[in-house]
Amino acid sequence: MKRKIVTDNNGVSLIEVLVGMIILAVGLLGLAPMVVVSIEGNAISRDNSAAANLLKQKVEYFEGLSTMPSVPYTETETGLQNIYTRSTYINDHSIDTLIPEGLYKIDVIVSWTDNQNVQRSNQYSTYKVKSS
């Protein structure tokens, strides 16, 4: 009995294309969560950058003053860029003995609630020499 070798390849290329499309679809589905994480990460970075700018603005404002306000100084600003709250605290040695004499301590805190309803905040502290 002789065996006949089938040399007819009709439909083989169609199956190859189908398998290739399935592999491509699975690969693209694997990338989808990475895109979502990337978008969320960009939003967090944008918020942190805006908060850092708000911190910098307030610190530079007080560093540029020739006379500081009387201590203890507390200021809270709400609704900055519609989502941020900025709190500023200025103290000296008479209020907090951990602060060296002859210096003001300036603390600025910016807080906000992000898109996922998570409370976040950035803080910056610096010292300024008291002018005589």
**Residue 80's domain spans which residues?**
12-129
Reported residue count of the chain is 132
Residue 59's pLDDT is what?
94
pLDDT digits (tens, 9 = 90+) for 2-56: 776 666 666 678 888 999 999 999 999 988 889 888 988 898 999 999 999 999 9
**Residue 2 forms part of a structural domain:** no
Residue 60's pLDDT is what?
94
**Residue 4 forms part of a structural domain:** no
Structural contact between residues 48 and 122, judged by C-beta atoms closer than 8 angstroms: yes
Nearest-5° Cα angle at 75, 72 to 78? 160
Which pairs count as long-range contacts for 19-28, CB under 8 Å and 24+ apart, including other chains? none
- Written as one letter, the residue type at 96 is D
**Residue 89 forms part of a structural domain:** yes
Higher pLDDT, 111 or 80: 111
Residue 62 has pLDDT above 90, yes or no: yes
Residue 115's pLDDT is what?
86
**Residue 31 forms part of a structural domain:** yes
pLDDT digits (tens, 9 = 90+) for 92-131: 999 889 999 999 999 999 999 988 899 999 999 999 998 8
pLDDT digits (tens, 9 = 90+) for 66-78: 889 998 999 999 9
- Written as one letter, the residue type at 31 is L
The counts of H helices and E strands in the chain are: 1, 4
**Residue 33 forms part of a structural domain:** yes
How many domains is the chain built from? 1
Q: Residue 46 is encoded by which pair of tokens?
A: 């944008």
**Residue 119 forms part of a structural domain:** yes
Q: Residue 117 is encoded by which pair of tokens?
A: 């309803």
3, 64, 106, 108, 124 from 56: Cα distances, Å: 84, 12, 12, 9, 8
Residue 15's pLDDT is what?
86
**Residue 1 forms part of a structural domain:** no
Residue 11's pLDDT is what?
66
Residue 6's pLDDT is what?
60
**Residue 55 forms part of a structural domain:** yes
